[in-house]
């Protein structure tokens, strides 16, 4: 069996794990990351993409609020190409507690969060689709952040600096020697290969799956599986983040993201044994639409593209707590102190936007265990794509052969790396995804440089298939490019095409009514009626028909 030796083993390729990998690499520490699926395929890629100002937590969890605003300011400097600085509003409806507004203003100021009351007229000018009956409005420095882009950029930087990353690779066993964790045994599904990694310290950054990782070592880490469901609207119905000014509840936030908008979020405890396959319930969809309608009445006239959910990485402190009552604070566990297991750390809790701080805390502990005296550099070192000032979008002449919309979209997704993509001498300049303006050059760049192994991975790097058509036109084109640019054979490309469509279907299925149903029938006609996908599924282990 192949064996790999390193200083640090990191389990989990979400935002926190990728952040720990980058922090270690910047400090000159050899590190290997193992992810059972793809980068940002778990909770990181299933959130609402909000770069909190901290205002949402200011009244109930002031510590988290202060962490949020501090990281908000840092990320806007080091991860600029992952962020759209939309700004945010907290608005009070007639039926809301009018006193919550004043309390929020006080608590935001105490937490160091810029919070300014604006007139109803100004609020409606910023957001014309807002409910005109709002009574009060506050302006806060919320923004949006692309979690896929963020995690992938952290991984890319780490790999370029010498780190090793294994995706689609499961941890099958923790290797222990007496009371010390010395390594992990892994299975690479793509290579169909077992191997072992030995390290001086192992960091468990697997979020809600941390409990599964710890159990084989006899460690009783208990997670609280709180499911949060969200809806995607087929166009950008709002341009700034809209929060309802009340105690956090379901359907009280609208987040604009790229070409769409999102309504979130619910909070429902689920059984731990179904965390790998959570589903959005009909009652959650109804709550989100009903509550969302109160903030933006136009919601009833929009098309819901899809529904999805993520599992918050909360640590269970009491069996009777509600998910919204558990602190979103950072939890760092040295299992030597808590469980008598040497060289094993768990970093969990927190939020997407505090990933960098979580990574810093975990890496500080790693350095302590390795007796390394090097400071964290992630506060000021930009991630790939945000290294320098972006191109002036009014001067796009160097990118001949591409429309301004293609150039702008590529810059939006890749920042300064867009120049490398668009000026590449590699053949290909055609559009693969019209919804998100993705070219075949961008697809090739992702395959060559971003650990992309299938179309689902490609979606997370380029947003291919995430627009209004949900992959109806671009999925089969992408499958063809894998045979042209990668080492994929024809049958393998068909298999990954089917897997991609099945993955998209999971999110579309709960929203099948009206235009969404017509869109699904159109997509079904393309792939089943025109391409005959159902006749190509023999030997692939998948069903050839819809449920």
- Render pLDDT for 277-326 as a digit per residue (tens, 0 to 9): 899 999 999 999 999 999 999 887 888 989 999 998 888 765 555 555 56
C-alpha distance from residue 314 to each of 18, 131, 221, 347, 356 (Å): 19, 34, 11, 11, 18
Same domain, 18 and 94: no
For residue 256, tell me if it sits in a domain.
Answer: yes
For residue 378, tell me if it sits in a domain.
Answer: no
Angle between helices 15-26 and 355-370 (to 10 degrees): 50
Entry field: residues in the chain: 547
* The pLDDT of residue 229 is above 90: yes
Distance CA 380, CA 247 (A): 34
The mean pLDDT of 233-240, rounded to a whole number, is 91
For residue 61, tell me if it sits in a domain.
Answer: no
For residue 461, tell me if it sits in a domain.
Answer: yes
Same domain, 258 and 197: no
What one-character DSSP code corresponds to residue 401?
Answer: T
Q: Please provide residue 251's backbone torsions phi and psi, each rounded to the nearest 5 degrees.
A: 70, 30
C-alpha distance from residue 151 to each of 263, 268, 360, 439 (Å): 23, 26, 15, 22
For residue 56, tell me if it sits in a domain.
Answer: no
Q: What pLDDT, on a 0 to 100 scale, did the predictor assign at position 322?
A: 56
Give Cβ neighbours of residue 144 (< 8 Å, ≥ 6 apart): 49, 50, 51, 83, 84, 86, 241, 255, 256, 257
Mean per-residue pLDDT of the chain: 89
Same domain, 355 and 473: no
pLDDT tens, position by position, 182-221: 999 999 998 999 999 999 999 999 999 999 999 888 888 8
Same domain, 434 and 354: no
**pLDDT-derived band of residue 547, with 50, 70 and 90 as boundaries?**
very low
Same domain, 336 and 289: no
For residue 110, tell me if it sits in a domain.
Answer: yes
Cα–Cα nearest to 302, from 266, 261, 265: 261
Read off the CATH number of the domain in which 251 is found. Answer: 3.30.9.10
* The pLDDT of residue 544 is above 70: no
* The pLDDT of residue 14 is above 50: yes
- Name the domain count of the chain: 3
What one-character DSSP code corresponds to residue 125?
Answer: H
The answer to whether 148 and 257 are in contact (CB under 8 A) is no
The mean pLDDT of 470-477, rounded to a whole number, is 86
* The pLDDT of residue 92 is above 50: yes
SS (H, E, C) 451-486: CCCCHHHHHHHHCCCCCCCCCCCHHHHHHHHHHHHC
Same domain, 136 and 156: no
* The pLDDT of residue 104 is above 60: yes
**pLDDT-derived band of residue 352, with 50, 70 and 90 as boundaries?**
very high
Q: Greater confidence, 325 or 499?
A: 499
Q: Picking from 68-82, 146-160, 265-279, which range would have the lowest pLDDT averaged per residue? A: 265-279
For residue 409, tell me if it sits in a domain.
Answer: no
pLDDT tens, position by position, 262-281: 998 999 999 999 999 899 99
Most confident of 140-154, 291-305, 398-412, 520-534: 140-154
Same domain, 335 and 448: no
Same domain, 206 and 304: no
The rounded percent of the chain whose pLDDT value lies above 90 is: 64
* The pLDDT of residue 70 is above 90: yes
Same domain, 507 and 359: no
* The pLDDT of residue 541 is above 50: no
Same domain, 218 and 228: no
399-406 long-range contacts (CB < 8 A, ≥24 apart) are: 399/423, 401/429, 402/429, 402/439, 405/437, 406/431, 406/437, 406/439
What one-character DSSP code corresponds to residue 215?
Answer: G
Q: Greater confidence, 474 or 325?
A: 474
Q: Greater confidence, 149 or 487?
A: 149
* The pLDDT of residue 21 is above 70: yes
The answer to whether 508 and 305 are in contact (CB under 8 A) is yes
Distance CA 14, CA 204 (A): 11
Q: What angle do CA 76, 80, 82 make, to 5 degrees?
A: 110
Q: What pLDDT, on a 0 to 100 scale, did the predictor assign at position 491?
A: 86
Q: What pLDDT, on a 0 to 100 scale, did the predictor assign at position 394?
A: 46
Q: What pLDDT, on a 0 to 100 scale, did the predictor assign at position 430?
A: 84
Q: What pLDDT, on a 0 to 100 scale, did the predictor assign at position 487?
A: 79
The answer to whether 327 and 250 are in contact (CB under 8 A) is no
Question: Helices (DSSP H) in 235-305: which residue ranges?
Answer: 282-295
Q: What pLDDT, on a 0 to 100 scale, did the predictor assign at position 545?
A: 37
The mean pLDDT of 212-238, rounded to a whole number, is 89
By residue range, what is the domain housing residue 280? 83-143+224-309
Read off the CATH number of the domain in which 156 is found. Answer: 3.50.50.60
Same domain, 131 and 238: yes
Predicted TM-score (pTM) of the model is 0.91
Same domain, 230 and 202: no
From the DSSP assignment, how many helices (H) and strands (E) are in the chain? 16, 22
Q: CA 278, 169, 360, 449: dihedral to nearest 10 degrees?
A: -110
Q: What pLDDT, on a 0 to 100 scale, did the predictor assign at position 407?
A: 86
* The pLDDT of residue 39 is above 50: yes
For residue 164, tell me if it sits in a domain.
Answer: yes
pLDDT tens, position by position, 331-346: 999 999 989 999 999 9
């Amino acid at each position: 069996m192949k064996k790999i030796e390193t200083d640090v083993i990191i389990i989990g390729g979400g935002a926190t794990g990728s952040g720990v990998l980058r922090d270690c690499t910047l400090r000159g520490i050899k590190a290997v990351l193992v992810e059972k699926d793809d980068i940002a395929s778990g909770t990181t890629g299933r959130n609402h993409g909000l770069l909190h100002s901290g205002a949402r937590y200011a009244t109930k969890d002031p510590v988290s609020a202060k962490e949020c605003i501090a990281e908000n300011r840092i990320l806007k400097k080091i991860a600029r190409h992952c962020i759209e600085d939309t700004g945010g509003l907290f608005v009070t409806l007639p039926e809301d507690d009018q006193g919550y507004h004043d309390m929020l203003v006080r608590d935001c100021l105490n937490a160091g969060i810029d919070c300014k009351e604006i007139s109803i007229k100004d609020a409606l000018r910023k957001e014309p689709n807002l409910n005109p009956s709002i009574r009060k409005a506050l302006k806060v420095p919320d923004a949006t952040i692309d979690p896929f882009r963020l995690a992938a950029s952290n991984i890319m930087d780490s790999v370029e600096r010498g780190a090793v990353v294994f995706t689609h690779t499961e941890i099958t066993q923790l290797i222990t020697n007496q009371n010390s964790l010395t390594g992990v045994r892994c299975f690479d599904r793509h290579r169909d290969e077992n191997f072992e990694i030995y390290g001086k310290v192992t960091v468990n950054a697997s979020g809600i799956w941390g409990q599964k990782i710890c159990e084989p070592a006899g460690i009783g880490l208990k997670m609280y599986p709180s499911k949060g469901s969200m809806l995607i609207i087929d166009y950008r119905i709002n341009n700034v983040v809209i929060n309802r000014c009340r105690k956090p509840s379901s359907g009280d936030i609208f987040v604009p993201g790229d070409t769409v908008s999102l309504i979130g979020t619910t909070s429902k405890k689920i059984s731990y044994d179904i965390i790998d396959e959570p589903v959005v319930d009909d009652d959650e969809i109804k709550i989100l639409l009903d509550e969302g309608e109160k903030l933006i009445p136009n919601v009833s006239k929009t098309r819901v593209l899809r529904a999805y959910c993520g599992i918050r990485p909360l640590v269970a402190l009491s069996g009777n707590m509600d998910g919204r009552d558990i602190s979103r604070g950072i939890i760092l566990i040295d299992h030597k102190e808590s469980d008598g297991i040497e060289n094993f750390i768990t970093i969990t809790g927190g939020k997407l936007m505090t990933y960098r701080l979580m990574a810093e805390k975990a890496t500080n502990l790693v350095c302590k265990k390795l007796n390394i005296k090097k400071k964290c550099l992630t506060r000021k070192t930009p991630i790939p794509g945000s290294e320098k000032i972006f191109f002036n979008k009014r001067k796009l002449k160097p990118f001949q052969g591409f429309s301004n919309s293609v150039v702008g979209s590529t810059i939006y997704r890749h920042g300064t790396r867009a120049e490398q993509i668009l000026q590449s001498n590699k053949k290909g300049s055609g559009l693969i995804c019209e919804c998100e303006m993705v070219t075949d050059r961008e697809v090739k760049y992702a395959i060559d440089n971003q650990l992309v192994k299938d179309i689902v991975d490609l979606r997370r790097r380029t947003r291919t298939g995430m627009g209004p058509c949900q992959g109806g036109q671009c999925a089969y084109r992408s499958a063809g490019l894998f045979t042209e640019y990668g080492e994929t054979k024809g049958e393998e490309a068909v298999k990954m095409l089917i897997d991609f469509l099945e993955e998209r279907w999971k999110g579309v299925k709960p929203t099948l009514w009206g235009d969404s149903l017509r869109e699904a029938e159109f997509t079904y006609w393309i792939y089943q009626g025109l391409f005959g996908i159902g006749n190509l599924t023999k030997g692939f282990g998948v069903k050839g028909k819809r449920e």
